[in-house]
A and B are shown apart, each in its own frame.
Chain A
Amino acid sequence: NFMLTQPHSVSESPGKTVTISCTCSGGSIANNYVQWYQQRPGSSPTTVIYEDDQRPSGVPDRFSGSIDSSSNSASLTISGLKTEDEADYYCQSYDNTNLWVFGGGTKLTVL
């Protein structure tokens, strides 16, 4: 069964860099693109990274994405952390059997 596993929570200080992992099981992370969504409390999700490493217009270049075939995982890195980055982050990809799959989400605390 295709699954994406994320850490439940991460925390870091303003100005620092944080990386959120998304580990794939039951398939290969490289087979289909990975997207990352940010969901602030009380709001709908928005895309911060699509197609593994692409940033939509309006998303600051402090956000970057990558995949690592050797560890079968994707990563979202946020540098120069700001308090406004505090949110839940979800990875998402596609699998031929399970179709569109989300990771369980990671709560980022900026303290």
Chain B
Amino acid sequence: EVQLVESGGGLVQPGGSLRLSCAASGFSFSKYWMHWVRQAPGQGLVWASRIRSDGSETDYADSVKGRFTISRDNAKNTLYLQLNRLRVEDTAVYYCVRASNGGDNFDSWGQGTLVSVSS
């Protein structure tokens, strides 16, 4: 069974930093592209970042480019998202998401971790 378990969320002041982790199990993690998708309270889904299966390529939404960094450790089956220079508008549940092999279907989602940015 595919499992994605996020951790690392919490309350942080504007300008602060957090590191989110996503522990993957039940599949060959190193073969899949992985994404982070976020959802502000009461709002819709917004794609934030993705990383290629081998970690060689990354992409970011304009809203997080230059502040967030996605990475992975395939030996530890773990995905990361480093959040720097956080803003109030970054408050959201952050989901770790697996993309189907070779496709754009987000076929497995974690339970999400809440990041709250407030003074």
Contacts and interface: CB of A to CB of B under 8 A. Distances in A.
A binds B: yes
Interface of A: 32-33, 35, 37, 39, 44-47, 50-51, 56, 88, 90, 92-94, 99-105
Given A44-B95, A101-B47, A50 B103 contact: yes
Interface of B: 35, 37, 44-47, 50, 59, 61, 95, 100, 103-107, 109-112
B106 A99 contact: no
Contacts of B109: 44-46
Contacts of A35: 104-106
A99 B61 contact: yes
A51 B103 contact: yes
Mostly, the A contact residues are strand
A46 B110 CA distance: 10
Nearest to A45: B109
Contact of B45 (A45, A47, A99): A45
Contacts of B106: 35, 37, 45, 47, 92
Nearest to B105: A50
